[in-house]
Structure 1
Amino acid sequence: MKNNNYPRLFVLFFPMALVFTVFFIVPMVKLAIVGASGEDGIQAYLSLLTTPRHFESMVSTILLSLAATLAALVLSTVSGLFLVRNRFPGREALISILTFPLAFPGVVVGFMVIMLAGRQGLVGDITSSLGMDKVVFAYSSFGLFIGYLYFSIPRVILTIMAAAEKLDLSLEEAARCLGASNWRVVRDVILPALKPGLISSGAICFATSMGAFGTAFTLATNIDVLPMTIYTEFTLNANIAGAASLSIVLGVITWIALFIARSLSGNTTAAAG
Protein backbone atom coordinates (compact mmCIF):
# COMPACT_ATOMS: atom_id res chain seq x y z
CA MET A 1 0.00 0.00 0.00
CA LYS A 2 1.38 3.37 -0.98
CA ASN A 3 2.37 5.62 1.90
CA ASN A 4 0.46 8.90 1.57
CA ASN A 5 2.66 10.58 4.16
CA TYR A 6 5.62 11.01 1.78
CA PRO A 7 4.41 14.31 0.23
CA ARG A 8 3.72 15.75 3.67
CA LEU A 9 7.11 14.63 4.97
CA PHE A 10 8.82 16.13 1.93
CA VAL A 11 7.07 19.48 2.44
CA LEU A 12 8.20 19.49 6.08
CA PHE A 13 11.74 18.34 5.34
CA PHE A 14 12.50 20.53 2.32
CA PRO A 15 12.74 23.92 4.14
CA MET A 16 15.10 22.44 6.72
CA ALA A 17 17.23 20.79 4.03
CA LEU A 18 17.35 24.03 2.04
CA VAL A 19 18.42 26.14 5.01
CA PHE A 20 20.99 23.53 6.07
CA THR A 21 22.45 23.40 2.57
CA VAL A 22 22.58 27.15 2.00
CA PHE A 23 23.83 28.20 5.42
CA PHE A 24 26.03 25.23 6.36
CA ILE A 25 26.99 22.85 3.54
CA VAL A 26 27.81 25.48 0.92
CA PRO A 27 29.89 27.74 3.24
CA MET A 28 31.76 24.73 4.67
CA VAL A 29 32.58 23.37 1.23
CA LYS A 30 33.76 26.81 0.13
CA LEU A 31 35.86 27.15 3.28
CA ALA A 32 37.43 23.73 2.69
CA ILE A 33 38.30 24.67 -0.90
CA VAL A 34 39.83 27.97 0.19
CA GLY A 35 41.85 26.19 2.88
CA ALA A 36 43.53 24.02 0.25
CA SER A 37 44.09 26.87 -2.24
CA GLY A 38 47.24 28.28 -0.67
CA GLU A 39 50.88 27.53 -1.45
CA ASP A 40 50.86 24.43 0.74
CA GLY A 41 47.74 23.02 -0.89
CA ILE A 42 46.04 20.29 1.09
CA GLN A 43 49.08 20.10 3.36
CA ALA A 44 47.75 23.27 5.01
CA TYR A 45 45.40 21.03 7.00
CA LEU A 46 48.45 19.51 8.69
CA SER A 47 49.82 22.87 9.84
CA LEU A 48 48.52 22.20 13.36
CA LEU A 49 51.08 19.41 13.53
CA THR A 50 53.89 20.93 11.48
CA THR A 51 53.81 24.55 12.64
CA PRO A 52 54.92 24.92 16.28
CA ARG A 53 52.81 28.02 16.92
CA HIS A 54 49.69 26.38 15.55
CA PHE A 55 50.35 23.19 17.50
CA GLU A 56 50.85 25.09 20.77
CA SER A 57 47.69 27.04 20.07
CA MET A 58 45.72 23.85 19.53
CA VAL A 59 47.05 22.24 22.73
CA SER A 60 46.32 25.38 24.77
CA THR A 61 42.79 25.58 23.40
CA ILE A 62 42.00 21.93 24.09
CA LEU A 63 43.46 22.00 27.61
CA LEU A 64 41.67 25.23 28.53
CA SER A 65 38.38 23.92 27.14
CA LEU A 66 38.71 20.62 28.98
CA ALA A 67 39.61 22.36 32.25
CA ALA A 68 36.68 24.77 31.99
CA THR A 69 34.32 21.93 31.09
CA LEU A 70 35.37 19.72 34.00
CA ALA A 71 35.20 22.59 36.49
CA ALA A 72 31.77 23.61 35.19
CA LEU A 73 30.50 20.03 35.49
CA VAL A 74 31.66 19.71 39.10
CA LEU A 75 30.39 23.10 40.26
CA SER A 76 27.12 22.87 38.36
CA THR A 77 26.35 19.33 39.53
CA VAL A 78 26.78 20.23 43.19
CA SER A 79 24.88 23.50 42.81
CA GLY A 80 22.16 22.02 40.63
CA LEU A 81 21.41 19.17 43.04
CA PHE A 82 21.32 21.58 45.97
CA LEU A 83 18.94 23.95 44.21
CA VAL A 84 16.60 21.16 43.10
CA ARG A 85 16.38 19.56 46.55
CA ASN A 86 16.16 22.67 48.69
CA ARG A 87 13.61 25.47 48.82
CA PHE A 88 14.59 28.75 50.49
CA PRO A 89 13.89 32.48 50.13
CA GLY A 90 15.71 33.95 47.15
CA ARG A 91 16.12 30.58 45.40
CA GLU A 92 14.58 31.74 42.14
CA ALA A 93 16.66 34.93 42.20
CA LEU A 94 19.81 32.85 42.73
CA ILE A 95 18.95 30.59 39.79
CA SER A 96 18.40 33.66 37.62
CA ILE A 97 21.80 35.06 38.63
CA LEU A 98 23.55 31.75 37.90
CA THR A 99 22.00 31.58 34.43
CA PHE A 100 22.25 35.30 33.64
CA PRO A 101 25.68 35.00 31.90
CA LEU A 102 23.87 33.37 28.97
CA ALA A 103 22.77 36.89 28.03
CA PHE A 104 26.34 38.23 27.83
CA PRO A 105 28.49 38.16 24.68
CA GLY A 106 32.07 36.97 25.04
CA VAL A 107 33.52 40.48 25.02
CA VAL A 108 31.42 41.45 28.04
CA VAL A 109 32.54 38.30 29.87
CA GLY A 110 36.16 39.19 29.13
CA PHE A 111 35.63 42.74 30.35
CA MET A 112 34.14 41.44 33.60
CA VAL A 113 37.21 39.26 34.16
CA ILE A 114 39.39 42.34 33.62
CA MET A 115 37.34 44.23 36.20
CA LEU A 116 37.91 41.32 38.58
CA ALA A 117 41.59 40.55 38.02
CA GLY A 118 43.00 43.12 35.59
CA ARG A 119 45.57 45.80 36.33
CA GLN A 120 42.88 47.94 37.94
CA GLY A 121 40.79 45.00 39.08
CA LEU A 122 39.25 44.16 42.42
CA VAL A 123 41.68 41.33 43.22
CA GLY A 124 44.69 43.57 42.60
CA ASP A 125 43.25 46.35 44.77
CA ILE A 126 42.59 43.94 47.64
CA THR A 127 46.05 42.33 47.51
CA SER A 128 47.71 45.75 47.33
CA SER A 129 45.75 47.03 50.33
CA LEU A 130 46.95 43.98 52.29
CA GLY A 131 50.58 44.88 51.60
CA MET A 132 51.08 42.12 49.05
CA ASP A 133 52.18 42.31 45.43
CA LYS A 134 49.30 43.23 43.16
CA VAL A 135 47.76 40.05 41.75
CA VAL A 136 46.85 40.32 38.07
CA PHE A 137 45.82 37.20 36.19
CA ALA A 138 43.12 38.40 33.80
CA TYR A 139 45.43 38.22 30.77
CA SER A 140 46.84 34.78 31.51
CA SER A 141 45.62 31.25 30.91
CA PHE A 142 43.91 31.32 34.30
CA GLY A 143 42.05 34.51 33.41
CA LEU A 144 40.83 32.93 30.19
CA PHE A 145 39.85 29.83 32.17
CA ILE A 146 37.75 32.00 34.50
CA GLY A 147 36.05 33.58 31.49
CA TYR A 148 35.30 30.20 29.93
CA LEU A 149 34.02 28.87 33.26
CA TYR A 150 31.79 31.91 33.70
CA PHE A 151 29.81 31.29 30.53
CA SER A 152 29.98 27.47 30.85
CA ILE A 153 28.25 27.12 34.21
CA PRO A 154 24.80 28.30 33.00
CA ARG A 155 24.89 25.82 30.12
CA VAL A 156 25.48 22.93 32.50
CA ILE A 157 23.42 23.88 35.53
CA LEU A 158 20.15 24.14 33.59
CA THR A 159 20.64 20.66 32.15
CA ILE A 160 21.65 19.17 35.49
CA MET A 161 18.67 20.71 37.28
CA ALA A 162 16.29 19.34 34.65
CA ALA A 163 17.81 15.87 35.01
CA ALA A 164 17.93 16.03 38.82
CA GLU A 165 14.22 16.78 39.02
CA LYS A 166 13.54 13.39 37.39
CA LEU A 167 15.69 11.37 39.78
CA ASP A 168 13.89 8.55 41.57
CA LEU A 169 14.50 9.27 45.26
CA SER A 170 13.32 5.78 46.21
CA LEU A 171 16.50 4.37 44.64
CA GLU A 172 18.61 6.51 46.95
CA GLU A 173 16.53 5.47 49.96
CA ALA A 174 16.89 1.82 49.00
CA ALA A 175 20.67 2.20 48.69
CA ARG A 176 20.89 3.80 52.13
CA CYS A 177 18.71 1.07 53.63
CA LEU A 178 21.20 -1.46 52.25
CA GLY A 179 24.00 0.32 54.09
CA ALA A 180 25.43 2.51 51.35
CA SER A 181 27.26 5.62 52.51
CA ASN A 182 26.45 9.05 51.10
CA TRP A 183 29.46 8.80 48.79
CA ARG A 184 28.33 5.39 47.49
CA VAL A 185 24.85 6.79 46.85
CA VAL A 186 26.33 9.65 44.87
CA ARG A 187 28.71 7.40 42.94
CA ASP A 188 26.39 4.44 42.27
CA VAL A 189 22.95 6.07 42.03
CA ILE A 190 23.00 9.81 41.43
CA LEU A 191 25.91 10.17 38.99
CA PRO A 192 24.81 7.28 36.72
CA ALA A 193 21.35 8.84 36.57
CA LEU A 194 22.82 12.22 35.63
CA LYS A 195 25.37 10.78 33.20
CA PRO A 196 23.49 11.56 29.96
CA GLY A 197 22.97 15.17 31.04
CA LEU A 198 26.58 15.50 32.20
CA ILE A 199 27.92 14.18 28.90
CA SER A 200 25.67 16.28 26.67
CA SER A 201 26.12 19.53 28.60
CA GLY A 202 29.85 18.91 28.92
CA ALA A 203 30.13 18.45 25.18
CA ILE A 204 28.32 21.74 24.58
CA CYS A 205 30.63 23.50 27.05
CA PHE A 206 33.71 22.05 25.37
CA ALA A 207 32.50 23.02 21.90
CA THR A 208 31.61 26.54 23.05
CA SER A 209 34.99 27.02 24.73
CA MET A 210 36.87 25.72 21.70
CA GLY A 211 35.27 28.34 19.46
CA ALA A 212 34.98 31.22 21.94
CA PHE A 213 36.39 34.29 20.20
CA GLY A 214 35.03 37.33 22.05
CA THR A 215 36.40 36.33 25.44
CA ALA A 216 39.72 35.22 23.94
CA PHE A 217 40.00 38.45 21.94
CA THR A 218 39.54 40.46 25.14
CA LEU A 219 41.84 38.45 27.42
CA ALA A 220 44.36 36.44 25.37
CA THR A 221 47.30 38.83 25.70
CA ASN A 222 49.89 36.27 26.74
CA ILE A 223 48.38 33.14 25.26
CA ASP A 224 47.33 31.94 21.83
CA VAL A 225 44.16 29.95 21.36
CA LEU A 226 42.87 28.69 18.03
CA PRO A 227 40.19 31.36 17.48
CA MET A 228 42.82 34.07 18.04
CA THR A 229 45.33 32.28 15.81
CA ILE A 230 42.73 32.12 13.03
CA TYR A 231 41.96 35.81 13.51
CA THR A 232 45.66 36.71 13.36
CA GLU A 233 46.27 34.67 10.22
CA PHE A 234 43.28 36.27 8.51
CA THR A 235 43.73 39.92 9.52
CA LEU A 236 47.41 40.53 10.28
CA ASN A 237 49.09 37.97 8.02
CA ALA A 238 46.50 38.08 5.21
CA ASN A 239 46.78 34.29 5.12
CA ILE A 240 43.22 33.52 4.10
CA ALA A 241 43.98 29.93 3.10
CA GLY A 242 45.73 29.28 6.41
CA ALA A 243 42.86 30.78 8.39
CA ALA A 244 40.36 28.70 6.43
CA SER A 245 42.26 25.44 6.98
CA LEU A 246 42.60 26.13 10.70
CA SER A 247 38.88 26.88 10.86
CA ILE A 248 38.05 23.55 9.26
CA VAL A 249 40.36 21.68 11.63
CA LEU A 250 38.84 23.47 14.63
CA GLY A 251 35.38 22.49 13.40
CA VAL A 252 36.44 18.87 12.93
CA ILE A 253 37.89 18.63 16.45
CA THR A 254 34.71 20.10 17.91
CA TRP A 255 32.49 17.85 15.80
CA ILE A 256 34.39 14.75 16.94
CA ALA A 257 33.88 15.75 20.58
CA LEU A 258 30.16 16.30 20.01
CA PHE A 259 29.82 13.03 18.11
CA ILE A 260 31.54 11.02 20.85
CA ALA A 261 29.43 12.70 23.51
CA ARG A 262 26.25 12.02 21.56
CA SER A 263 27.20 8.37 21.16
CA LEU A 264 27.97 7.96 24.86
CA SER A 265 24.89 9.77 26.13
CA GLY A 266 22.66 7.95 23.66
CA ASN A 267 23.74 4.57 24.99
CA THR A 268 23.18 5.48 28.62
CA THR A 269 19.94 4.93 30.51
CA ALA A 270 19.29 7.20 33.47
CA ALA A 271 18.27 5.56 36.72
CA ALA A 272 15.20 7.72 37.09
CA GLY A 273 11.55 7.02 37.55
Structure 2
Amino acid sequence: MLIDSHCHLDFPNFADDIDAVMERARAAGVGAMLTIGTTLAKAPQVIGVAERFPNVWCSVGIHPHEAAAEADVQAQTLIEMSRHPKVIAIGETGLDYFYEHAPRAAQEVNFRAHIQAARVTGLPIIIHTRDADEDTEKILVEEMGKGAFPGLIHCFTSGPKLARTVLDLGLSISFSGIITFKTAAQLREIAATVPDDRILVETDSPYLAPIPHRGRRNEPAFVADTARVVAEVRGVGPAVLAQQTTENFRRLFTKADFSALAA
Protein backbone atom coordinates (compact mmCIF):
# COMPACT_ATOMS: atom_id res chain seq x y z
CA MET A 1 0.00 0.00 0.00
CA LEU A 2 1.11 3.54 -0.78
CA ILE A 3 0.06 6.61 1.17
CA ASP A 4 -0.23 10.07 -0.37
CA SER A 5 1.17 12.10 2.52
CA HIS A 6 0.17 15.50 1.13
CA CYS A 7 -2.78 16.43 -1.07
CA HIS A 8 -5.55 19.04 -1.15
CA LEU A 9 -8.80 17.14 -1.63
CA ASP A 10 -10.93 20.06 -0.45
CA PHE A 11 -9.83 22.25 -3.38
CA PRO A 12 -12.43 23.08 -6.05
CA ASN A 13 -10.44 21.03 -8.57
CA PHE A 14 -11.89 17.87 -7.00
CA ALA A 15 -15.43 19.09 -6.35
CA ASP A 16 -17.03 17.39 -9.33
CA ASP A 17 -15.46 13.94 -9.20
CA ILE A 18 -14.08 13.26 -5.73
CA ASP A 19 -15.56 9.76 -5.61
CA ALA A 20 -13.94 8.84 -8.92
CA VAL A 21 -10.64 10.30 -7.68
CA MET A 22 -10.81 8.09 -4.61
CA GLU A 23 -11.60 5.02 -6.69
CA ARG A 24 -8.65 5.66 -9.03
CA ALA A 25 -6.40 6.02 -5.99
CA ARG A 26 -7.58 2.67 -4.66
CA ALA A 27 -7.01 1.03 -8.03
CA ALA A 28 -3.45 2.43 -8.09
CA GLY A 29 -2.67 0.93 -4.70
CA VAL A 30 -2.97 4.17 -2.75
CA GLY A 31 -4.62 3.09 0.47
CA ALA A 32 -4.70 6.33 2.44
CA MET A 33 -4.27 10.10 2.07
CA LEU A 34 -3.52 13.15 4.18
CA THR A 35 -5.39 16.23 2.96
CA ILE A 36 -3.77 19.47 4.04
CA GLY A 37 -5.12 22.64 5.57
CA THR A 38 -3.97 25.96 4.12
CA THR A 39 -6.24 28.42 5.97
CA LEU A 40 -8.11 28.22 9.25
CA ALA A 41 -11.16 29.74 7.60
CA LYS A 42 -11.46 26.69 5.36
CA ALA A 43 -10.57 24.14 8.03
CA PRO A 44 -14.18 22.90 8.23
CA GLN A 45 -14.08 21.91 4.55
CA VAL A 46 -10.76 20.10 5.00
CA ILE A 47 -12.05 18.24 8.04
CA GLY A 48 -15.29 17.50 6.18
CA VAL A 49 -13.43 15.66 3.42
CA ALA A 50 -11.55 13.62 6.01
CA GLU A 51 -14.76 12.77 7.82
CA ARG A 52 -16.34 11.56 4.59
CA PHE A 53 -13.69 8.93 3.81
CA PRO A 54 -12.28 6.43 6.34
CA ASN A 55 -8.88 6.39 4.61
CA VAL A 56 -8.39 10.17 4.63
CA TRP A 57 -6.98 12.25 7.48
CA CYS A 58 -6.24 15.96 7.57
CA SER A 59 -4.16 18.75 9.03
CA VAL A 60 -5.00 22.26 10.22
CA GLY A 61 -2.79 25.24 9.52
CA ILE A 62 -2.01 28.38 7.58
CA HIS A 63 0.08 28.25 4.40
CA PRO A 64 2.84 30.90 4.27
CA HIS A 65 1.00 32.53 1.36
CA GLU A 66 -1.87 33.22 3.78
CA ALA A 67 0.25 34.43 6.70
CA ALA A 68 -0.83 38.05 6.26
CA ALA A 69 -4.49 37.28 5.54
CA GLU A 70 -4.70 35.20 8.72
CA ALA A 71 -2.21 37.07 10.85
CA ASP A 72 -1.57 36.75 14.58
CA VAL A 73 -2.44 33.08 14.71
CA GLN A 74 -2.03 31.69 18.21
CA ALA A 75 -0.61 28.27 18.90
CA GLN A 76 -3.53 27.64 21.24
CA THR A 77 -5.99 28.04 18.37
CA LEU A 78 -4.18 25.35 16.40
CA ILE A 79 -3.98 23.14 19.47
CA GLU A 80 -7.72 23.36 20.04
CA MET A 81 -8.54 22.65 16.39
CA SER A 82 -6.21 19.66 16.38
CA ARG A 83 -8.34 17.85 18.95
CA HIS A 84 -10.65 16.61 16.22
CA PRO A 85 -10.00 12.86 15.75
CA LYS A 86 -9.36 13.24 12.04
CA VAL A 87 -6.73 15.96 12.50
CA ILE A 88 -3.35 14.23 12.69
CA ALA A 89 -0.92 17.05 11.80
CA ILE A 90 -0.22 20.79 12.08
CA GLY A 91 0.26 22.85 8.91
CA GLU A 92 1.12 23.40 6.28
CA THR A 93 3.29 26.29 7.33
CA GLY A 94 6.75 27.62 6.65
CA LEU A 95 8.45 30.15 4.40
CA ASP A 96 7.98 30.96 0.73
CA TYR A 97 10.33 33.60 -0.64
CA PHE A 98 9.64 32.69 -4.28
CA TYR A 99 6.20 34.28 -4.44
CA GLU A 100 6.27 36.26 -1.18
CA HIS A 101 2.51 36.63 -1.08
CA ALA A 102 2.95 37.56 2.57
CA PRO A 103 5.69 39.61 4.26
CA ARG A 104 8.60 37.54 5.52
CA ALA A 105 8.08 38.70 9.09
CA ALA A 106 4.47 37.52 9.04
CA GLN A 107 5.55 34.17 7.60
CA GLU A 108 8.05 33.70 10.42
CA VAL A 109 5.52 34.49 13.14
CA ASN A 110 3.10 32.04 11.51
CA PHE A 111 5.79 29.36 11.25
CA ARG A 112 6.87 29.64 14.88
CA ALA A 113 3.28 29.49 16.16
CA HIS A 114 2.75 26.24 14.26
CA ILE A 115 5.97 24.80 15.66
CA GLN A 116 4.78 25.60 19.17
CA ALA A 117 1.48 23.83 18.47
CA ALA A 118 3.35 20.80 17.16
CA ARG A 119 5.59 20.78 20.21
CA VAL A 120 2.62 20.89 22.62
CA THR A 121 0.41 18.39 20.82
CA GLY A 122 3.11 16.02 19.59
CA LEU A 123 1.51 16.13 16.14
CA PRO A 124 3.91 16.45 13.20
CA ILE A 125 4.37 19.85 11.60
CA ILE A 126 4.16 19.94 7.81
CA ILE A 127 6.70 22.43 6.53
CA HIS A 128 6.63 24.27 3.20
CA THR A 129 9.87 25.97 2.18
CA ARG A 130 10.72 27.54 -1.15
CA ASP A 131 13.75 29.72 -1.86
CA ALA A 132 14.14 30.13 1.90
CA ASP A 133 16.64 27.47 2.92
CA GLU A 134 18.77 29.69 5.15
CA ASP A 135 15.91 31.12 7.20
CA THR A 136 14.10 27.78 7.36
CA GLU A 137 17.23 26.15 8.73
CA LYS A 138 17.77 28.95 11.26
CA ILE A 139 14.22 28.77 12.58
CA LEU A 140 14.17 24.99 12.80
CA VAL A 141 17.48 24.88 14.69
CA GLU A 142 16.38 27.65 17.07
CA GLU A 143 12.99 26.11 17.73
CA MET A 144 14.32 22.59 18.17
CA GLY A 145 16.61 24.04 20.82
CA LYS A 146 13.52 25.12 22.77
CA GLY A 147 12.09 21.61 22.77
CA ALA A 148 11.73 18.76 20.30
CA PHE A 149 8.84 18.45 17.86
CA PRO A 150 8.08 15.97 15.06
CA GLY A 151 7.59 16.92 11.44
CA LEU A 152 8.65 16.83 7.82
CA ILE A 153 9.60 19.04 4.92
CA HIS A 154 6.94 18.37 2.30
CA CYS A 155 7.54 18.55 -1.45
CA PHE A 156 11.26 18.82 -0.83
CA THR A 157 13.03 20.94 -3.48
CA SER A 158 15.84 22.42 -1.40
CA GLY A 159 19.56 21.67 -1.45
CA PRO A 160 21.67 19.05 0.31
CA LYS A 161 22.61 21.39 3.18
CA LEU A 162 19.02 21.83 4.34
CA ALA A 163 18.39 18.12 3.81
CA ARG A 164 21.27 17.28 6.17
CA THR A 165 20.07 19.74 8.78
CA VAL A 166 16.49 18.49 8.64
CA LEU A 167 17.61 14.89 9.04
CA ASP A 168 20.03 15.77 11.84
CA LEU A 169 17.13 17.42 13.68
CA GLY A 170 15.15 14.18 13.47
CA LEU A 171 12.65 15.39 10.88
CA SER A 172 11.56 13.57 7.72
CA ILE A 173 11.53 14.46 4.02
CA SER A 174 8.73 13.93 1.51
CA PHE A 175 9.16 13.94 -2.27
CA SER A 176 6.54 14.98 -4.81
CA GLY A 177 6.19 14.53 -8.56
CA ILE A 178 8.92 17.12 -9.08
CA ILE A 179 11.42 14.31 -8.57
CA THR A 180 10.29 12.82 -11.91
CA PHE A 181 11.13 15.98 -13.88
CA LYS A 182 14.17 15.95 -16.16
CA THR A 183 15.55 19.03 -14.40
CA ALA A 184 15.48 17.38 -10.95
CA ALA A 185 18.81 15.52 -11.05
CA GLN A 186 20.05 17.01 -7.76
CA LEU A 187 16.75 16.18 -6.09
CA ARG A 188 17.08 12.56 -7.17
CA GLU A 189 20.60 12.49 -5.73
CA ILE A 190 19.26 13.72 -2.40
CA ALA A 191 16.41 11.21 -2.44
CA ALA A 192 18.94 8.42 -2.86
CA THR A 193 20.61 9.33 0.44
CA VAL A 194 17.65 9.87 2.80
CA PRO A 195 17.57 7.15 5.49
CA ASP A 196 15.05 4.37 4.94
CA ASP A 197 13.04 5.40 8.01
CA ARG A 198 12.79 9.09 7.12
CA ILE A 199 11.36 9.22 3.58
CA LEU A 200 7.78 9.75 2.40
CA VAL A 201 6.04 10.37 -0.92
CA GLU A 202 3.22 12.72 -1.89
CA THR A 203 1.39 14.35 -4.77
CA ASP A 204 0.66 17.88 -3.50
CA SER A 205 -2.33 17.44 -5.82
CA PRO A 206 -3.98 19.09 -7.65
CA TYR A 207 -0.53 20.54 -8.44
CA LEU A 208 2.76 19.11 -9.73
CA ALA A 209 1.56 16.08 -11.68
CA PRO A 210 4.49 13.72 -12.20
CA ILE A 211 5.70 12.41 -15.51
CA PRO A 212 3.89 10.92 -17.45
CA HIS A 213 0.92 13.07 -16.37
CA ARG A 214 2.43 16.53 -16.83
CA GLY A 215 -0.14 19.10 -17.89
CA ARG A 216 -2.99 17.27 -16.20
CA ARG A 217 -4.61 17.83 -12.84
CA ASN A 218 -2.64 15.87 -10.31
CA GLU A 219 -4.46 13.40 -8.04
CA PRO A 220 -3.53 10.86 -5.34
CA ALA A 221 -3.37 7.92 -7.74
CA PHE A 222 -0.33 9.52 -9.36
CA VAL A 223 1.76 9.13 -6.20
CA ALA A 224 2.52 5.68 -7.60
CA ASP A 225 4.49 7.31 -10.43
CA THR A 226 6.49 9.40 -7.98
CA ALA A 227 7.15 6.36 -5.79
CA ARG A 228 8.38 4.41 -8.80
CA VAL A 229 11.09 6.99 -9.52
CA VAL A 230 12.05 7.29 -5.84
CA ALA A 231 12.40 3.50 -5.65
CA GLU A 232 14.54 3.49 -8.79
CA VAL A 233 17.02 6.10 -7.53
CA ARG A 234 17.26 4.29 -4.19
CA GLY A 235 17.91 0.94 -5.85
CA VAL A 236 14.90 -0.87 -4.39
CA GLY A 237 11.73 -2.33 -5.84
CA PRO A 238 8.44 -0.41 -5.78
CA ALA A 239 6.99 -2.83 -3.20
CA VAL A 240 9.90 -2.19 -0.83
CA LEU A 241 9.56 1.58 -1.21
CA ALA A 242 5.80 1.34 -0.63
CA GLN A 243 6.33 -0.65 2.56
CA GLN A 244 8.99 1.73 3.85
CA THR A 245 7.04 4.91 3.18
CA THR A 246 3.84 3.48 4.63
CA GLU A 247 5.65 2.41 7.79
CA ASN A 248 7.25 5.84 8.00
CA PHE A 249 3.88 7.53 7.66
CA ARG A 250 2.43 5.41 10.45
CA ARG A 251 5.46 6.06 12.66
CA LEU A 252 5.30 9.82 12.12
CA PHE A 253 1.53 10.34 12.11
CA THR A 254 0.81 8.29 15.19
CA LYS A 255 -2.69 9.70 15.66
CA ALA A 256 -3.91 8.17 12.37
CA ASP A 257 -6.38 5.40 13.12
CA PHE A 258 -5.70 2.60 10.65
CA SER A 259 -8.26 0.30 12.23
CA ALA A 260 -10.99 1.94 10.14
CA LEU A 261 -9.17 0.87 6.97
CA ALA A 262 -9.37 -2.78 7.93
CA ALA A 263 -13.07 -2.61 8.77
Normalising by structure 1, what TM-score?
0.25
Structure with the higher fraction of residues in helix conformation: 1
Q: Relative contact order: is structure 1 or structure 2 higher (C-alpha 8 Å, sep ≥ 6)?
A: 1
Query: Which protein is richer in strand relative to its size?
Result: 2
Rg larger in structure: 1
TM-score normalized by structure 2? Answer: 0.26
